[in-house]
């Protein structure tokens, strides 16, 4: 079914192009939103990405189920990075301290098992990721979401591997702080609501 849709899109059948867009656009828009942090820019990135996808679909070679989605996502990520470079927003990587120097210990992922992290909704996670500073958000997305190595990220962003690691560590530290604050606020609101309801 996917192969048939691809052939119809390559033939520029309007219904097929619309079907491809309707099926994949929501997930791709979420990718763009994670990188640029606002809907207007994410929609621009999605538009540019789909033009590239339609133009290059004839070069796509299906290898396994789901590979089309992965191929389209890679185009979306690359388009988002080019968008950020064009805006000259990614050249702020020099002179930054590592998070290890700030907190005096290595950052781990053990916090991901804590209840305050497990209970987050997808919308809450998206919101706090979008609130990260651009440099932190870009590295976090590339490393955690797209699973690029620090070496690959360094090449994409024209920075050192150590800088990429530092950006990731700082991003995670900031995410933890935001989540703790969010959790504390929610508990406070629940407490106040309960107190009010008892009166």
Domain co-membership, 57 together with 104: no
What CATH number does residue 54 fall under? 1.10.1740.10
Kindly give, in sequence order, each residue whose CB lies less than 8 Å from that of residue 91, ignoring residues fewer than 6 positions away.
158
CA distances from 36 to 45, 72, 78, 189 (A): 9, 18, 12, 31
Rounded CA separation 172/105 (Å): 13
Q: pTM for this structure? A: 0.59
Rounded CA separation 161/121 (Å): 32
How many domains, in total, are found in the chain? 2
Domain co-membership, 103 together with 184: yes
Q: Would you say 167 and 176 are in contact if contact means Cβ atoms under 8 Å apart?
A: no
What CATH number does residue 162 fall under? 1.10.10.10
Reported as a single tens digit per residue, the pLDDT across 40-92 is: 899 999 999 999 999 898 888 766 556 888 899 999 999 998 888 777 543 33
Full residue range of the structural domain in which residue 111 is found: 99-197
Domain co-membership, 82 together with 110: no
Domain co-membership, 111 together with 186: yes
Domain co-membership, 111 together with 56: no
Last residue of a domain, one of 86, 107, 122: 86
Q: What value does the CA radius of gyration of the chain take, rounded to a whole number of Å?
A: 20
Q: Would you say 54 and 33 are in contact if contact means Cβ atoms under 8 Å apart?
A: no
Q: Mind listing the pLDDT tens digit of every residue in the chain (199 residues)?
A: 778 888 888 888 889 999 999 999 999 999 999 888 889 899 999 999 999 999 898 888 766 556 888 899 999 999 998 888 777 543 333 322 332 322 223 444 444 444 555 556 667 777 888 888 989 999 988 988 788 999 999 999 989 999 999 999 998 888 888 877 876 666 555 445 455 544 4
């Amino acid at each position: 079914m996917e192969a048939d849709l691809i052939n119809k899109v390559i033939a520029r059948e309007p219904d097929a192009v619309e079907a491809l867009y309707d099926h994949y656009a929501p997930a791709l828009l979420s990718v763009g939103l994670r990188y640029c942090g606002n809907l207007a820019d994410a929609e621009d990135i999605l538009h540019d990405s789909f033009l590239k996808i339609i133009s290059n679909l004839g070069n796509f070679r299906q290898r396994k189920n789901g590979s089309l989605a992965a191929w389209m996502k890679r185009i979306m990520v690359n388009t988002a990075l080019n968008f950020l470079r064009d805006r000259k927003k990614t050249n702020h990587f020099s002179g930054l301290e590592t998070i290890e120097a700030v907190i005096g210990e290595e950052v781990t992922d053990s916090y991901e098992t804590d209840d305050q992290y497990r209970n987050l909704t997808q919308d809450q996670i998206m919101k706090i990721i979008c609130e990260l500073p651009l440099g932190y958000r870009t590295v976090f997305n590339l490393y955690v979401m797209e699973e690029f190595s620090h070496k690959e990220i360094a090449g994409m962003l024209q920075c050192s591997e150590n800088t990429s690691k530092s950006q990731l560590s700082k991003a995670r530290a900031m995410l933890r702080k935001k989540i703790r604050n969010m959790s504390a606020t929610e508990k406070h609101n629940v407490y106040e609501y309960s107190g009010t309801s008892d009166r």
